[in-house]
Amino acid sequence: MNRKTFDILSTQALLLAIACSLSCIAYTQDAKSPYTKMAPLAQYLMTDQNAEIALARSAAPVSISGDATVMVLKQQGYEIVEKGKNGFVCIVERSWMSPFDSPEFWNPKNRSPTCFNPAAVRSVLPFNLKRTELVLAGLSKTQIIARVREAVAHQGMPALEPGAMCYMMSKDMYLSDTQGHYRPHLMFYGPKSDGADWGANFPGSPVLLDPLSLSANSPDPFNIFIVPVWKWSDGTPAPIH
């Protein structure tokens, strides 16, 4: 088997594994899940602000995250603690950014470092902040879905901007008990579609249409496309799994 054939097969195997993993999380209900309700807020907060800042910046290479604005989660929601100059924003997402039908929606161990580019800062990050606001207000999943859908319907949320994307390349990300540290990847945001206009999930294509964005319960009006990368944000090689 030559190197080119090996690379193609490895890529296809990786994408299949990602699709299966995400599909299971998105659509499988675990009756024995320990995360049936929100834990005390303190379990979701990081007591060391500097550690959260460092974790947020680890989402992208330092050439990008070093000049980014950083937000950290506090009792009242995300707050800017370091102002950047390149238009990017890095945060550590929590488990409530998972699909609403995920059995780990309330997993307090989730730490998902994400660095949004300027287009995503303006048009995607507001959805994250809105969902966080509603979670911290004590609303139920059903109420959160309804509130976000209502905001979208009444133009209370921004329209998706072309080119919106984010980096998730941190070695220290912990997405779920099922996925653990996962692997580095980029995420791109696009209008709702079957993904054919991106070539997503096509044989040999490195682009995966994230099944999580297709969840029937998702109130977010966009698709998420995943592109795996082969290095962590610090430049070291990532394992293929």
Q: Per residue in 78-118, pLDDT tens?
A: 999 999 999 999 999 999 998 898 899 999 999 999 999 99
Given a contact cutoff of 8 angstroms between Cβ atoms, the answer to whether 232 and 200 are in contact is no
pTM of the predicted structure, to 2 decimals: 0.85
Mean pLDDT score of the chain = 87
Q: Looking at the predicted structure, is the pLDDT value of residue 3 above 90?
A: no
2-6, 30-34, 95-99, 224-228, range with the lowest pLDDT: 2-6
Residue 214 has pLDDT above 90, yes or no: no
Instruction: Report domain extents, the chain.
Output: 3-228
Tell me: pLDDT of 52 over 80. Answer: yes
Give me the percent of the chain exceeding a pLDDT of 70: 85
pLDDT, position 66:
98
